[in-house]
Structure 1
Amino acid sequence: MSRPLVLLAAIGSLVAAAVVTPSPALAAEQTVLSRGHVDVIDVHYEGGALSLKVRDDTGASPVTRDPADVLFHALPESQTTVPDVPSYAFLGAPGTPVWLLPQVQDPNLLWPGWETLNLPTGVFAGGKIRLSLVGVEGPGRVSVFVNDPFGNAQVLFRSDDGLPDAIEVGDHVHAHANWAFSATGRYTLKFQADGTLTDGTAVSSGAVDYTFAVGELTDPDPEVALDIFGMQDSYAPGQQVNLVALQTPETELDHYHWFSKCAGAADFAVVPGEGGAAYSFTATEALDGCQYKAVLYDEDHNAVAEAAPVTLVVEDGGGPGEPGGSQSIVATVRESDGALVLSVDPNDRTVALPATTLGAAGDRLEAAGALRPVTVTDTRAAKPGWNASGQVSAFTADGGANFGGKYLGWTPQILAQASGQGVVAGPIAPPGFTSGNGIAGGAVLGSAPAGSGRGTARLGAELRLELPTDTGAGTYTATLTLTAI
């Protein structure tokens, strides 16, 4: 029996600008390992100290590397789906995409393992050390597990149920496991080795960072473009000017300086006290023709990006009855500065759900997937808070077949946010198969309460579709409209 293949197209209400996908690039100082055997964690004990290295067997002869110099790449071809087996539920719902570097070697993928073959015998109590995953940073969940002889999964490390996770490893072991990632992007896995010497002395490698890239490679520090939005064609004297600097692609950097250059000035001068993405002031005739630009800086106050200048045009407010010696006194009360921007990548706005399968109860067709990332940037100084929500249309197929958007539900997620931004995921909106309206009537994806929310957050959601079993086969498409207020 053929099953419907469902596509979901997401569109965002763009307040100011769309995000552009960064060009693929690599850090020149890193060795990228994408295929072949590698012991990601190679434990050494030298000079009374434990250390973690990488044993690279992908070439003609083994090479020992520093973890900081290696990028482990899970190719796009590593994508598979979560099996409908209870012991694999920790990976997500059955049918959900997952990127897997397998326990058994696939010559087309990276085959990562670990080893303690370089540890001396008789040095560690019990002939063992402890290997721990102490932290994970990245866009999704990370799991390391092995398959038992009966085909069930036994989890060794798992990032979404609390870390650290630890296993004991003998001092002359070489092992492999499955390395699973729930989303594409870059991850930092922090591993640590600890042991006790036979004389009772505790030794540790300390936490060591390992970098993984899942899916297509992108530059972790892409060149950032900066543009200024909000400048109108002209202003009347006394009218407020609201300018916003937006990054493409967006980064976590949030330190700016604004500069102005007016008639008679040889160069741009910094505007005192303006260090954010938004800059507001009052237009006066004296400012007619002035130029304004913004510069973005990193933590060391190095300039990262500079916006092209914009020019202020102020209309002539004078008249024949106005005394030549008069002045205009303008008082402006600002309600809030900045802007609220919601955007989706224009080149990554289609969710292709896998073909539906019959549910375990036999009463519905099911499919699951993941919403493409949604970026919300709030540069408003007043921090009024915000809500980002989505509403899906009906699904239609060629030939006129359709079904309601209520059959699609989601579980919102916060993929990333600025420090202290206070963004929380929206409530679960289950599919409306038996009751409810799914996300057809609108559902909150994420929100920030009043007094917080300033910065950039990336939102996502696990999608779940549940359909009547008599739904006709075909490819169905719906539109998800995203807004932020």
Structure 2
Amino acid sequence: MTTRTPDHRRLATAAGAAVVCLGGLLLPGAAPALAQEKVVLSAGHTDAVDVHHEDGRLVLKVHDDTVEPSVTRDPADVTFQVLPEAAVEVPDLPEYAFLGPAGSTIWLLPMTQDPNLLWPGWNTTTLRSGVFQGNKVSLSLVDVAGPGRVSVFMTDPVGQPLVKFRSDDGLPDAIDVPIGTHAHANWVFSALGSYTLTFRADATLADGTPISTGPVPYRFVVGDLPGPDPEVGLSIQGLRPAYAPGAAVTLTAVQDPVTDLDRYRWFSRCPGAAEFAEIPSEVSAAYSFTATAQLDDCRYLVRLYRDGAEAPVAESAPVTLNVENTGAPAASQTIKVTVGAQGTLVVSVDPDDRTVNLPPTVLSPSGDRWQSSGDLRPVTVTDTRPGSPGWNVAGQLSDFTAGQTRVGGEYLGWTPTVLAQAEGQGVAAGPTVAPGFTTGNGLAASSLLGTAPAGDGRGTARLGAGLHLELPTDTAAGQYVATLTLTAI
């Protein structure tokens, strides 16, 4: 990647030299031909958000001026590419702090035209005077989906930024745009990857009738375009050499390389069966079940599919389950973690109400870490000892591993809770343990989940915890496994 030397004066100059035409200075003419093919626009001028009024309807289109003659396109047919060369650093000035930490990399499409980059803007020059109340429309950014933050801003003559749209402080953001306006601004993205920006235009006709385009998605790709679907290898990880009856089994499908595909089907073939049979309702990357003697020597495989396709993209080699009578399972919960590219995260434990599914990780508001939160499955503590001596339950987390890659268990923290306790018990939750992202050991150190003092612990109680994971942004993509060992004293 080529990184440009950042310069806050460049940002200010780009904003100050905006192209803004008002009051019909750009007269509407015949609309360009509507092109049908799908295209990628990566350099040159385009009115990305081009507002039209046709047959009583308000419509958003794309005016593509990168070709001669220019054409009008449906936003669904266009991918706007922010080239890697758009990378700059956030200047060390307080007025630009909304773009991220000073010195961090952003990808900027500047307001003044750079012939090597895309120059997107918005346009209302096709709208006619007297049709709308106030001779204006409202343009809104209603949603942003992607790996980072999006900001669209101009600057005033003294270099102060004038933010028009900003995804990290609450959407929708709306601006009034007079008819006959053709404007450009700085478009800033905080991370590489694919984004969907959803715009909407609203207006009120002269007779008081409100009209709207409704939400219209626009696709932006920051950085290099994804290539054709790579050949995907698929394997099964997580199988131990042997299991005791009643032990938790979690098989995890692992892609190499990791893709955005996430539709799986699991299959099994036990002794005596002629062929593999699909396991109903198992469509995620992790398949969890309980080992039983009847499952000894059963074989399992997984297949990966594209949405809407019946033919698999990839199929794993089968693995064979070995079930032995080696005693009862230990008091532990196995935690599996999947970290994807857009940064696509999943936690699971054994299926007897001990499966934890954290939502996919999201970038923190400060942009310096991946975050995800969820809940530990209930932990039941039953004390029938005479004398009621009291008890402590603690948990300690191993490292997360994915093949040879390790991520420390200190990145997971919790807030323990008492879910239920018997009458007369005096159970108390353990203290909150913060993720050790910057300091501390998180759950990598033995941490108290719950306690009952002497005389108040006899009976059955249920403990839980809110889990919070904070990972560095450079965590390698992959599917990670860790074990949370619970100890009662």
TM-score higher than 0.5 here?
A: yes
Match of 2:347 in 1: 378
Alignment of 1:203-352 (within 5 A): 203-218=211-226, 225-232=233-240, 235=242, 238=245, 240=247, 242-248=250-256, 256-271=264-279, 274=282, 276=284, 277-282=286-291, 284=293, 287-288=296-297, 290-296=298-304, 302=310, 305-312=313-320, 314=322, 339-341=335-337
Shift of 1:299: 6.6
Contact 1:228 1:246 (8 Å CA) reproduced? yes
1:452–1:278 Cα change, 3 Å: farther
Contact 2:236 2:319 (8 Å CA) reproduced? no
Contact 1:98 1:181 (8 Å CA) reproduced? yes
Shift of 1:96: 1.7
Q: Which amino acid aligns with 2:201?
A: A
Q: Secondary structure at the match of 2:239?
A: coil
Contact 1:374 1:460 (8 Å CA) reproduced? no
Q: Secondary structure at the match of 2:122?
A: strand
> C-alpha offsets along residues 354-411 of structure 1, whole Å, 9 cap, x if unaligned?
xxxxxxxxxxxxxxxxxxx87743132413588xxxxxxxxxxxxxxxxxxxxxxx87
Contact 1:258 1:294 (8 Å CA) reproduced? yes
Shift of 1:257: 3.7
Contact 1:244 1:339 (8 Å CA) reproduced? no
Distance 2:227 2:336 in 1: 27
Structure 1 position 110 matched with structure 2 position 118:
yes
> C-alpha offsets along residues 38-82 of structure 1, whole Å, 9 cap, x if unaligned?
110010001100000001111222111110111111111101011
Q: Which amino acid aligns with 2:166?
A: R
> C-alpha offsets along residues 139-172 of structure 1, whole Å, 9 cap, x if unaligned?
1111111122222211111111111111111111
Match of 2:22 in 1: none
Distance 2:481 2:253 in 1: 20
Task: Select which of 141, 155, 159 maps to 2:163.
Answer: 155
> C-alpha offsets along residues 457-478 of structure 1, whole Å, 9 cap, x if unaligned?
995569xxxxxxxxxxxxxxxx
1:223–1:337 Cα change, 3 Å: farther
Of 196-205 and 298-307, deviating more is: 298-307
1:271–1:461 Cα change, 3 Å: closer
Distance 1:68 1:416 in 2: 31
Alignment of 1:386-425 (within 5 A): 413-414=369-370
Structure 1 position 169 matched with structure 2 position 168:
no
Shift of 1:217: 1.9
Distance 2:178 2:243 in 1: 77
1:86–1:231 Cα change, 3 Å: closer
Q: Secondary structure at the match of 2:346?
A: strand
Q: Which amino acid aligns with 1:88?
A: Y
Q: Secondary structure at the match of 1:68?
A: helix
- Structure 2 unmatched ranges of 5 or more: 1-35, 359-365, 378-410, 414-435, 445-462, 475-479, 485-489
Alignment of 1:34-183 (within 5 A): 34-183=42-191
1:47–1:452 Cα change, 3 Å: farther
Distance 2:134 2:48 in 1: 24
Contact 1:181 1:214 (8 Å CA) reproduced? yes
Match of 2:438 in 1: 439
1:224–1:337 Cα change, 3 Å: farther
Shift of 1:186: 1.0
Contact 1:292 1:310 (8 Å CA) reproduced? yes
Larger RCO (CA under 8 A, 6+ residues apart)? 1
Contact 1:130 1:166 (8 Å CA) reproduced? yes
1:132–1:417 Cα change, 3 Å: farther
Q: Secondary structure at the match of 1:107?
A: coil
Shift of 1:295: 3.1
> C-alpha offsets along residues 279-334 of structure 1, whole Å, 9 cap, x if unaligned?
3443659843x43112345676856555323242759x9xxxxxxxxxxx999769
Q: How many residues align?
A: 358
Q: Which amino acid aligns with 1:95?
A: G
Distance 2:229 2:141 in 1: 25
1:89–1:444 Cα change, 3 Å: farther
Shift of 1:274: 4.8
Match of 1:186 in 2: 194
1:58–1:29 Cα change, 3 Å: closer
Distance 2:307 2:466 in 1: 22
TM-score (ref. length: structure 1): 0.62
